[in-house]
Structure 1
Amino acid sequence: MFGVSYIRIRKHYLHLPYLVLGALEFAALFGTFYLLGFVLDQLGAAEANLHTSAGAAFLFALVMSCGTLAMGVYFAMVREGFASMFFRTLVAFCFLGGLALTILYMLIPNVSPGSDKLFWAVLLAIFLVTLIRQIFLKVVDSDQLARRVVIFGGGEFAESLMTDYERNLRASGIRIMGCIPDSATPRVDARHHLPAPTDFYQFCRQNRISEIVIAQQERRKSEGGQLPVEALMECKLRGIDVTDAVAFYERELKKARLELLHPSWILFSDGFKASRSRDLAKRVMDLVISLTLAVVMAPFMLLTALAIVLESGFPVLYSQDRVGARGQVFRIYKFRSMRQDAEKDGKARWASQNDSRVTRVGAFIRNTRLDELPQLWNVIKGEMSFVGPRPERPEFVEQLKDQVPFYNTRHYVKPGLMGWAQLNYPYGASIEDARGKLEYDLYYTKNHSIVMDFLIMIQTVEVVLLGKGVR
């Protein structure tokens, strides 16, 4: 079932086990709603024809599935354990799903099952999806179903890959069986070492290896780092995947590892392609969403402005120069969250944890992302997109261009209100953080599409609700 651990949709890699889990949950949600209506029909409930509507059941399953994605339930299930997964499920179903369905039922009253029926449907859904996820974790954790991988290499790259595997990949249908060191002084812990096989193909057959990942750091013969090309070619030609570490990182961890990158990765990859049709579709989507959101959020923006004035006076808005697409500098707007004298000496500073310059109102609007709402104007003007790498200040860009390789590459797409790096990396406030964020920005720059943008928008709900990455 998990011999292939991923599929690719519009160049964005999606883990097959989680797609299977999502499909199973969608079916369970649909069945729960539909069968509950059927039972109520048999009991002679009023408006029975509405309860058994397949359209209403589909709407229920769709909204709850989107709530699950929005709250990052699947990743929490792997990284944070049962308690976090269950809490996020409650928020996704009871708060996000319930609120969204209430609004939809107001707009489409003929699909509403009634509040009491909705309550029982949500309760049963929580029980069923929790049970399905527990079974899923046991199945995916099975060595019989996992995709077994061997790393060729034992240096810094292989060590980094093993570390990331222990943190993020153990429940993704991947099993790294160990490393075959390519030098006399490997950095990978000895407990992960595998002896170099005399026959790579037979070794892979005997150990049910599905993939060999090349993570060599030194390939000179004097260092014992010669790549066994013929042996690896035989494996490739006989059905065993041979993958370089850059592609493995991109596929499994959705980022581009900076230490492994070369200009050829950009020149010869199937990504980084300009598309007028995609840009036009994205521009239309930006205008529709930003104008709609501006109307819906107008009362909250007025209240935010009033709160800022009452606490610390004028000005309400704060503006800064930021670097946009193709390196063009533009003026970004935010609700002021710091004191008026936050940078009185004129020097740009990274934000710090619990920054003393942030006001009480500022802390609240940062946590709820209300301070970002004036940037809708930048989106409407076309200086920003709804989704893209976050724009950085020119002073920091000049510094980062010299110290972080490929940093300018992120400027070949429009900056955005929300981005892939914001979902996957904590708030950046140093050069090292900028390197970490750039690995995700490069993945987005290479693979971005309308489908990926929608996924990012849905998952950003978790960031807003839980106040992730705020300083």
Structure 2
Amino acid sequence: MVRLFNHYIHRRLILQVLFDYGLIVSAVMAVVALGRQHSDFLLSMTATHGFSVATCTFVINIASGFYQQSHNRSFTETLARAGLAALFALPLAYAIFSVLPHDMGDSRLLPTAAVAAVAAVLIHRVYAAHASVNVRARSRILVLGSGPAAKLVGETLKASDPSAEVVGYFPAPHEQQVAVPASHILTGQSLATTALNAGVSEIVVAVTERRGGNMPLRDLLDCKIQGIRVSDISTHFEKTLGKLRLDYVNAGWLIFGDGFDQGFFRTAVKRLFDIVSAAVLVVVSAPVMLVTMLLIKIESPGPVFYRQQRVGLNGQNFDVVKFRSMRNDAEKDGKPRWATAADDRITAVGRVIRKLRIDELPQLFNVLKGEMSIVGPRPERPFFVERLTQEIPYYAVRHSIKPGVTGWAQVRYHYGATVEDSQEKLQYDLYYVKNHTLFLDLLILFETVAVVLTGKGAR
């Protein structure tokens, strides 16, 4: 894993992106070179047309979910995503080379080559999504510990990272409970010798009890000196799953670790990004909002907009604005309730606009007012916040930044309707609060497009 702008990204993913860029740019350079054009023209054509097509294809691939983890995705779903991406990417590639000026003799040669290169990228995306990882390219990981925490680390790696290989478990001194298979336990040599002989690239410390000489600190230092990465279990879950596991996070790790940068510069950049993004989205979505208002008014009596008190920055309450998607008497008994999968309070129009996330569009005006951000933890109702703060540790930390129209938890986890769901989503929210940057905000926006297109998690 590589940490880029505070966000953990797989090396394999970076190589895939570079390959996609290189394939398109190389195709443009090859066609221009075959046309026997001079070097200045070759460089200018590559810098303008080639990188424009490659960047547009990259954005479309992100929005289609091609750069997300895909080992649990069916081949049919991958083909469907490829088809959707092709609908946008192929015409766009042809248009860029047809509209932007160039001096090639055959005006059809470059657009055709660009379309072929983009098609090759999409075909490669489908192949890469289901191709098995080369054994040599896998990262070899040794888990220090043999208890329940070590077992969970191994299961997590197996389920979420096909490019990682757990070579075994090294029991910690004085460890009481063994939860991993005996055949996977490595003994007989020191930790450093075992790691070096096994060609380990990383050691994950999965020892929960660290007092009484239960941590082989000298061996771990020797491993680090030899170039082997040593990761704490909390850091392991953070970079592997993109969340902070509450059961393995402690206040000391949060306080003395990095992250939680809420400085003036980051706040100013985020606010500027919010204003520009919200203004553009209001203009672009205005026709959709007008049609939605009309349909809501036709279908059922009551107001078009729905205002509800939510908890925002520093625990301050504000009124969030949404398109009304439920009957006007949805909570006539006065008792707050989470929406459920087959909620009979939702109207026919409401079901559609919820699935497509259109009901959230009026929150753009909350963003312009400064009550919300484009990206951040979703705002919750005061009734639920009071309850969740008492039941879930660190829940109040999510209120240290403005709530968002979309967020890391929204693109990583389905709709939450229980305390357990709220706890799971909080783990993603904490990751965002700890590591948020403009880069992560852009990534979340692109992934939100994929969520909207697939209707994932709508309720």
| TM-score, scaled relative to structure 2 | 0.90
Aligned-pair distance for 1:53? 5.9
Aligned positions of 1:285-364 closer than 5 A: 285-364=273-352
Output the CA distance in 2 between the equivalents of 1:382 and 1:110: 42
Q: Note the 1:446-465 alignment, pairs <5 A.
A: 446-465=434-453
Is the 2:167–2:198 Cα contact (8 Å) retained in structure 1?
A: no
Tell me what 2:195 maps to. Answer: 204
1:405 aligns with 2:400: no
Determine helix, strand or coil for the equivalent of 1:320: strand
Deviation (angstroms), 1:453: 0.8
Amino acid at match of 2:168: G
1:121 deviates by: 3.5
**Whole-angstrom distance in 2 between the partners of 1:76 and 1:238:** 31
Q: 2:178: which partner in 1?
A: 186
Identity %: 37
* Separation (CA, whole Å) in 2 of partners of 1:123 and 1:354: 45
Check 1:220–1:275 CA distance in 2 against 1; reply closer, same or farther (3 A cut): closer
Q: CA deviation at 1:66?
A: 0.8
In structure 2, do the counterparts of structure 1 residues 462 and 378 end up closer, same or farther at CA, with 3 Å as the change threshold? same
Asked if residue 89 in structure 1 is aligned to residue 77 in structure 2, the reply is no
Amino acid at match of 1:243: S
Mapped pair 1:144 → 2:136:
yes
Q: What residue identity is the alignment partner of 1:59? A: S
Give the distance between the partners of 2:150 and 2:53, measured in 1 at CA.
45
Q: What amino acid is aligned across from residue 75 of structure 1 in structure 2?
A: Q
Instruction: Name the SS of the counterpart of 1:72 in structure 2.
Output: coil
Q: Alignment partner of 2:135: what SS?
A: coil
Q: Does 1:155 align with 2:143?
A: no
Q: CA deviation at 1:131?
A: 3.6
1:461 is paired with a residue whose SS is: helix
Q: Which residue of 1 aligns with 2:239?
A: 251
1:238 paired to 2:238:
no
- 1:23 correspondence with 2:9: no
Cα deviation code 1:411-470 (max 9, x no counterpart): 111111111111111111111111111111111101111111111111211011111110
Match of 2:204 in 1: 213
Q: Distance in 2 between matches of 1:363 and 1:118?
A: 42
Match of 1:32 among 27, 34, 44: 27
Report the residue type matching 1:72 in the other structure. G
Equivalent residue runs for 1:413-432 within 5 Å: 413-432=401-420
The separation in 2 between residues aligned to 1:239 and 1:307, in whole angstroms, is 62
| Equivalent residue pairs, number | 451
- Distance, in Å, in 1 between the alignment partners of 2:308 and 2:432 is 25
Deviations 1:149-195 (A, max 9, x none): 11112333223222221221113xx212222344343223445x313
Give 1:68's aligned residue. Answer: 61
Show structure 2 runs of 5+ residues with no match. none
Q: Distance in 1 between matches of 2:445 and 2:308?
A: 24
Find the aligned partners of 1:98 and 1:259 in 2 and give their Cα distance: 47
- CA shift digits 1:255-275 (9 cap, x unpaired): 111101111122111111221
Matched residue of 1:212: which SS?
strand
Superposed, 1:252-291 pairs within 5 Å as 252-291=240-279
CA contact (8 A) 2:7 2:435 kept: yes
User: Are residues 155 and 342 of structure 1, via their aligned partners in 2, closer, same or farther at CA, if it must alter by over 3 Å?
Assistant: farther
SS at match of 1:334: strand
> Tell me, what secondary structure is at the counterpart of 2:70?
helix
Q: What is the aligned partner in structure 1 of residue 115 from structure 2?
A: 122
**In the TM superposition, what is the alpha-carbon distance from 1:383 to its structure 2 partner?**
0.4
- Unmatched 5+ residue regions in structure 1? 1-5, 43-47
Work out the CA distance in 1 between the residues paired with 2:33 and 2:353: 46
* Aligned residue type for 1:291: A
1:177 corresponds in structure 2 to: 167
CA distance in 1, matches of 2:413, 2:379: 15
What SS does the aligned partner of 1:377 have?
helix
Residues in 2 aligned to 1:137 and 1:201: alpha-carbon distance in whole angstroms? 35
TM-superposed deviation, 1:377:
0.7
Aligned-pair CA distance for 1:33:
4.4
Q: Who is 1:167 aligned against?
A: 159
Deviations 1:181-213 (A, max 9, x none): 44343223445x313343111111111011111
Cα distance in 2 for residues equivalent to 1:264 and 1:29: 47
Distance 1:109 1:145, change over 3 A: closer
Structure 2 distance, partners of 1:418, 1:115, is: 42
1:190 to 1:364, Cα distance in 2 relative to 1, 3 A: farther
Q: What amino acid is aligned across from residue 168 of structure 1 in structure 2? A: S
RMSD: 2.9
**Deviation of the 1:356 alpha carbon:** 1.6
Query: In structure 2, the residue corresponding to 1:122 is in which secondary structure?
Result: helix
CA shift for structure 1 position 101? 6.0
In structure 2, how many angstroms separate the alpha carbons of the residues matched to 1:364 and 1:99? Answer: 29
SS of the aligned residue for 2:71 comes to helix
Which of 369, 375, 379 aligns to 1:391? It is 379
**Partner of residue 382, structure 1:** 370
